[in-house]
Amino acid sequence: MLVVVSDTHSTDGHRLRGRTLSAVRDADVVVHAGDFYREPVLDAFYEEAGSLRAVYGNNDDRAIRDRVPETRVVEYGGVRFAVTHRRRSGDTGLVMFGRERDADAVICGHTHAPRFDDSTGLPIVNPGSHAEPRGNRAAHAELERAADGLEGRLVTPDGDAFREFRIEG
């Protein structure tokens, strides 16, 4: 399983709980789409996740920026993801970012609002924030291998899967 989290905004710990914590521990790969905030938080994620692929966000300190890239490409289950924290030109910028990297989908964070949108020409997955939802549902994304792609869902830390989706590879 691929698990996607973002926007932890912590100074000393991962703030994972419930289903989000167990999903991170059980995942084949964990993608963090930025805004850990301080370096001990990045270290806490490395301790929980067997395989962490992270990018830094606009609120991350210099120590995090020295350890993880601003953008990256992650492949899982035959699907190629372009990963970034944000793009200033919104969905258009995210789609362009993904196409420039020959991606099948884009993973982003920043808004703290969990969503999946495939109306843009390139699917966009934003897991929201598991720790600081800012008026949205606390959430993460889970994606599992399926025939010709991935089956995904947005899930709360309490285990409520509130949006299901599919990404073709």
Does position 92 have pLDDT exceeding 90, yes or no? yes
Does position 57 have pLDDT exceeding 90, yes or no? yes
| Alpha carbon distance 114, 141 (integer Å) | 8
Residue-wise pLDDT for 15-54, tens only, equals 999 999 999 999 999 999 999 999 999 999 999 999 999 9
Q: How confident is the model at residue 12 (pLDDT cuts 50, 70, 90)?
A: very high
Residue-wise pLDDT for 117-164, tens only, equals 999 989 999 999 999 999 999 999 999 999 999 999 999 999 999 999
| Alpha carbon distance 106, 90 (integer Å) | 12
Quote the pLDDT of residue 88.
86
- In CATH terms, the fold of domain 2-168 is Purple Acid Phosphatase; chain A, domain 2 (3.60.21)
